[in-house]
């Protein structure tokens, strides 16, 4: 009975863990979808205007989509890992500085508190209380002065996994029609499907960034259109 209860508890918490992971990775998700859509849309239409049939477009698009998703996943993992390493190094440096000369560090912090609007006695009270918990004090100072608190640290595995999934999903949208339709109708359906995805992506970007919807949607579509135009231009030039 105890094991069943534990299993049910884990099952109940899984959706919340996924939601938290999604919220923490929203930047990677938006970037992954935009990159996947724009890059593969440009590739697909560049090939579609010079390829002999849908199979050639499907082969190029599917290969490009998988390669791009893996590349973005690896790049995201390395970027997040490097950012975390840099944050850890800054935190270690701040800890060493505090341990070597806590008095000087306290005076510097007191000065910043007074500049921020604290009275002298309030600043002294804060330093007195914080001095009882040096690790917590150091984390607060690092978060405020260095921007490297625990909240800024991200899980590279989670970030890169979301990047891979969303990049691959978005990249597949322009490619799918060429798996089922002949070349001419596949171009039209691919264009329409990609346009719908870009509109939804633009709306999502606007809501996340609290931006105006229409300009954000227009910007998103414009970037993809530029990529498609470049792909078609290169395709015509080579062919």
The pLDDT tens digits for 41-80 are: 888 888 888 888 899 999 999 999 999 889 888 988 888 8
Residues 135, 177: one domain? no
Average model confidence (pLDDT) across the chain: 79
Q: What is the mean pLDDT of residues 218-229?
A: 86
Average pLDDT over residues 26-46: 82
Per-residue b or e along 74-104, where b marks 16 or more CB atoms closer than 10 Å to that residue's CB: eebbebbbebbeebeeebeebbeebeeeeee
* Helices and strands of the chain, counted as H and E runs: 10, 0
| 172 vs 68: CA distance, rounded Å | 11
Extended beta strands in 157-211, E state: none
Shared domain for 35 and 77, answered yes or no, is yes
* Whether residue 68 sits in one domain with residue 132: no
Spell out the long-range contacts of 134-137 with Cβ–Cβ below 8 A and sequence spacing 24 or more.
134/98
Dist. CA 34–CA 209, nearest whole Å:
15
What pLDDT is attached to residue 8?
Answer: 47
Domain for residue 70, yes or no? yes
Q: How many domains are contained in the chain?
A: 2
The model's confidence at residue 5, banded by pLDDT at 50, 70 and 90, is very low
- pLDDT reported for residue 39: 85
CA–CA separation, 119 and 1 (whole Å): 58
| Residue 177 and residue 132 share a domain | no
The residue among 124, 152, 180 that closes a domain is: 152
One domain for residues 137 and 186: no
Q: 73: domain range?
A: 27-82+156-238
User: Hey, which bits of 55-108 come out as E strands?
Assistant: none
121 and 233 part of one domain: no
Residues 92-98: what's their mean pLDDT?
Answer: 72
Q: Which of 126, 152, 178 is the last residue of a domain?
A: 152
Number of residues assigned to the chain = 239
CA distance 69 to 31: 12
Residue 66 and residue 165 in one domain: yes
Q: In this structure, is residue 17 part of a structural domain?
A: no
Q: Using CA atoms, how far apart are residues 62 and 172, in angstroms rounded to an integer?
A: 7
Q: What is the pLDDT of residue 9?
A: 47
- Residue-level pLDDT at 55: 92
- pLDDT category at 195 given cuts 50, 70, 90 is very high
**Residue 14, pLDDT above cutoff 70:** no
Measured between alpha carbons, how far is 46 from 229 in angstroms, rounded to an integer? 8
- 220 vs 86, higher pLDDT: 220
175 and 233 co-located in one domain: yes
* 114-152 per-position pLDDT tens digit: 787 888 888 778 777 777 776 666 666 665 555 555 445
Query: Percentage of the chain with pLDDT > 90?
Result: 22
| 42 shares its domain with 160 | yes
The reported pLDDT for the residue numbered 10 is 47
State pTM to two decimals.
Answer: 0.71
- Tell me what the mean pLDDT of segment 193-220 comes to: 89
Residue 47: DSSP 8-state? H
CB atoms within 10 A of CB 126: 16
The pLDDT value given to residue 1 = 46
Contact between residue 18 and residue 151 where contact means Cβ atoms under 8 Å apart: no
pLDDT of residue 218: 92
Residues 6+ positions from 204 with CB-CB distance below 8 Å: 30
């Amino acid at each position: 009975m105890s094991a069943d209860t534990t299993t049910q508890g884990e099952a109940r918490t899984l959706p919340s863990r996924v939601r938290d992971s999604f919220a923490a990775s929203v930047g990677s998700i938006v970037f992954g979808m935009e990159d996947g859509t724009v890059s593969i849309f440009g590739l697909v239409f560049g090939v579609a205007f010079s390829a002999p049939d849908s199979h050639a477009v499907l082969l190029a698009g599917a290969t490009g989509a998988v390669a791009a998703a893996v590349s973005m996943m690896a790049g995201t993992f390395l970027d997040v890992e490097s950012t975390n390493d840099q944050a850890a190094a800054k935190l270690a440096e701040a800890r060493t500085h505090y341990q070597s000369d806590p008095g000087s560090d306290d005076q510097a912090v007191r000065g910043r508190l007074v500049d921020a609007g604290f009275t002298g006695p309030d600043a002294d009270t804060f330093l007195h209380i914080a001095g009882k918990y040096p690790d917590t004090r150091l984390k607060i100072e690092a978060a405020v002065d260095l921007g490297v608190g625990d909240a800024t640290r991200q899980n590279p595995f989670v970030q890169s996994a979301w990047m891979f999934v969303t990049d691959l999903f978005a990249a597949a949208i322009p490619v799918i029609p060429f798996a089922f339709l002949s070349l001419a109708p596949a171009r039209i359906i691919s264009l329409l499907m990609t346009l719908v995805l870009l509109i939804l992506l633009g709306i999502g970007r606007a809501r996340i960034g609290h931006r105006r919807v229409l300009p954000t949607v227009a910007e998103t579509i414009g970037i993809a259109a530029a990529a498609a135009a470049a792909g078609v231009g290169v395709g015509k030039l080579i062919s």
